[in-house]
């Protein structure tokens, strides 16, 4: 899976709250995650939200709950990687994620990123990246990890630089 690649490439431990299709962005989960000691949060549950309206109600709220408790935590929001199956439906979900990101940026959040999932599989042989048009296979997960990696590397570097700054300021 892509978290495994990323953990290895970044030499970082990770917790995966993917819930295997049952992660719906519930407030109780956001509150739990907000209380964890972490260096970065990667949010990508749009494909699990039961409806677009549900996603619209929960996505930004999930972000806010985490942000309220972690004002400088790097947060990466990503949309699902495959729009080839049900392109209109999936594009609407992608728009919700982008709206959350743009709202966070408009509020002055300098620690938030957006990854457009439609770019994760690239242009060539996109149909070879999933088992069934929706669920990534090994190639799909690998390409996802490759596209997410630079964002995580940048976010973690920003977090490390910030921690170094704070440490230096205390001396």
CA proximity to 141, closest of 97, 70, 81: 81
pLDDT in the model for residue 162? 57
Please list, residue by residue across 112-145, b when 16 or more beta carbons sit within 10 angstroms of its beta carbon and e when fewer do: bbbbebbebbeeeebeebbeeeeebeeebbebbb
Per-residue pLDDT tens over the stretch 60-108: 999 999 999 999 999 999 998 876 666 666 789 999 999 999 999 999 9
pTM of the model: 0.88
pLDDT in the model for residue 166? 43
Q: Which of 33-42, 109-118, 151-160 has the lowest mean pLDDT?
A: 151-160
Per-residue pLDDT tens over the stretch 22-32: 778 899 999 99
pLDDT in the model for residue 171? 32
Three-state DSSP class for residue 155 = helix
Residues 6+ apart with CB under 8 A from 26: 58
Three-state DSSP class for residue 148 = helix
CA proximity to 4, closest of 22, 16, 19: 16
Backbone torsion region of residue 51, taken as left when φ is above 0, otherwise alpha when ψ lies between -120 and 50, otherwise beta: beta
Q: Which of 60-64, 114-118, 129-133, 147-151 has the lowest mean pLDDT?
A: 129-133
* C-alpha count within 13 angstroms, C-beta hemisphere, residue 144: 23
Three-state DSSP class for residue 133 = coil
């Amino acid at each position: 899976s892509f978290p495994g690649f990323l953990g290895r490439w970044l030499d970082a431990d990770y917790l995966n709250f993917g819930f295997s299709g049952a992660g719906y962005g519930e407030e109780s989960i956001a509150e739990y995650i907000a209380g964890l000691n972490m260096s970065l949060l990667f949010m990508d549950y749009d494909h699990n939200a039961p409806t677009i309206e549900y996603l619209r109600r929960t996505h930004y709220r999930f972000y806010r709950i985490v942000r309220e408790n972690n004002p400088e935590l790097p947060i990466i929001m990503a949309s699902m990687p495959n729009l080839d199956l049900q392109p209109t439906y999936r594009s609407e979900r992608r728009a919700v994620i982008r709206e959350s990101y743009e709202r966070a940026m408009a509020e002055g959040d300098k620690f938030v990123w957006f990854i457009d999932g439609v770019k994760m599989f690239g242009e060539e042989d996109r149909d070879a990246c999933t088992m069934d048009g929706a669920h990534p296979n090994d190639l799909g997960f690998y390409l996802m990890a490759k596209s997410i990696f630079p964002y995580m590397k940048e976010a973690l570097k920003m977090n490390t630089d910030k921690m170094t700054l704070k440490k230096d300021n205390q001396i």
